[in-house]
Amino acid sequence: MEKNGLPDRLRERKTGNWIFGVSTFFLISFFLVPFLLPANTVPDLSGRANAFDYATEDGAFSKGNTPDSLLHEHEDGSLHLHEPFAWSELDPYSAFIYMFGDLNCHNKHDRSWELNGNQMPVCTRDVGIFFGLAIGGLMFSRFGHNRWTIKDSCLSLLPDQWLERIYRENRRTAAWIGVGALLCLPLLIDGFTQLLTGYESNNFTRPLTGTPFGLGIAILTGAAFCARPQFFENASEVRLPANARFELEVGQEE
């Protein structure tokens, strides 16, 4: 019998392993693909998030290859016109990874690492986020439990003894929001400080702040897929820390 009152946690293990597997595939691919391509074939990129900028060299979805976009200023102040880049001309595997990065990341070259003379498909912040997603998926596969609601399933990764007071005083929502905010806070502080001040983050702090954010997203995703009330006969069967029980709230007549 598992700590949530169910005989097994096969769904939790499977869901966590899927999150870990998919995230790890992308994370490894971000580092591998630049080495599979010929050296110095991916130039300095600088596109937009949630849009295709490098699908083709010209025409639709090629905003990153316009003359103005290809003109980059180097650290010494000189201007250089880079060669156009189109991921649709790469091999299928490399094209898929760079397509994923083109759609989901801004691809700013000063916020990305370069490997084998090729800019990586995503920025360093996204590298940290996917690292966090992989860790979070692995953690959920080992420690996550279906506890009826999403927030209780998220909190199930913590040892029950840490949660006893929280459940006795019914501070579950505050704890859930607090832990989530704590995981998001490094990224929010780093991002908004850049936006509101002259501070500029670097490629060391960006992955460090992205990792806890990715960790939180993975746990939330795992809980969303695994919080299934139908696996219990009723809410009172869910085992909770401090021997707490879910009860239906009954309105009192005045």
Give pLDDT tens digits for 78-126.
Answer: 677 778 899 999 999 999 999 999 999 999 998 999 999 999 999 999 9
Query: Does residue 67 share a domain with residue 26?
Result: yes
How would DSSP label each residue in 133-170?
A: HHHHHHHHHHH----SSHHHHHHTTS-HHHHHHHHHTT
Same domain, 114 and 134: no
Residues 151 and 190 reside in one and the same domain: yes
Tell me if the pTM is above 0.75.
Answer: yes
pLDDT at 236 over 80: yes
Tokens of 62: 């090629």
What pLDDT digit, counting tens, does each position of 30-40 carry? Answer: 999 999 999 99
Please state, in angstroms and rounded to a whole number, the distance separating the CA atoms of residues 245 and 8.
Answer: 20
Q: Quick one: which of 176, 169, 171, 135 has its CA closest to 153?
A: 176
H or E element: which one contains 118?
Answer: strand 118-119
The rounded distance, in Å, linking the Cα atoms of 141 and 101 is 27
pLDDT by residue (tens digit) across 167-179?
999 999 999 999 9
In terms of domains, do 62 and 117 share one? yes
Same domain, 53 and 118: yes
> What is the Cα Rg of the chain in Å?
23
Main-chain phi, psi angles of 40, to 5 degrees = 60, 35
> pLDDT class for 254, splitting at 50, 70, 90?
very low
Counting residues of the chain whose pLDDT is more than 90, the rounded percentage is 74
| Residue 118 and residue 138 in one domain | no
167 plus 117 within the same structural domain: no
Q: How confident is the model at residue 197 (pLDDT cuts 50, 70, 90)?
A: confident
Q: State CA 238 to chain mean position distance.
A: 30
What is the model's pLDDT at position 82? Answer: 77
- Is residue 187 assigned to a domain? yes
Residue 248 has pLDDT above 70, yes or no: no
Does 107 share its domain with 153?
A: no
Q: Is residue 15 part of a domain?
A: no
Q: Is 63 within a domain?
A: yes
Q: How many helices (H) and strands (E) does the chain have?
A: 8, 4
20 pLDDT higher than 80: yes
CB 137 within 8 A of CB 25: no
Report yes or no on 249 lying in a domain.
no
pLDDT (mean) for 20-27: 98
Same domain as 200, residue 233 = yes
Residue 252: inside a domain, yes or no?
A: no
Stated as kind and residue range, the H or E segment containing 80 is strand 79-81
Same domain, 239 and 131: yes
**With 50 as the cut, is the pLDDT of residue 166 above it?**
yes
Domains in the chain, number: 2
Mean pLDDT of 190-204: 83
- Domain hosting 51: range is 22-73+82-123
**What is the spatial distance between Cα 5 and Cα 243, in angstroms, rounded to a whole number?**
11
User: Does pLDDT of 250 surpass 70?
Assistant: no
3 state DSSP class of 35: helix
Contacts of 7 (CB under 8 A, 6+ apart): 1
Q: What is the mean pLDDT of residues 52-57?
A: 94
Residues 209 and 114 in one domain: no
Q: Which of 63, 91, 123 lies at the terminal end of a domain, its last residue? A: 123
What integer pLDDT is reported at residue 41 of this predicted model? 93
Classify residue 251: in a domain, yes or no. Answer: no
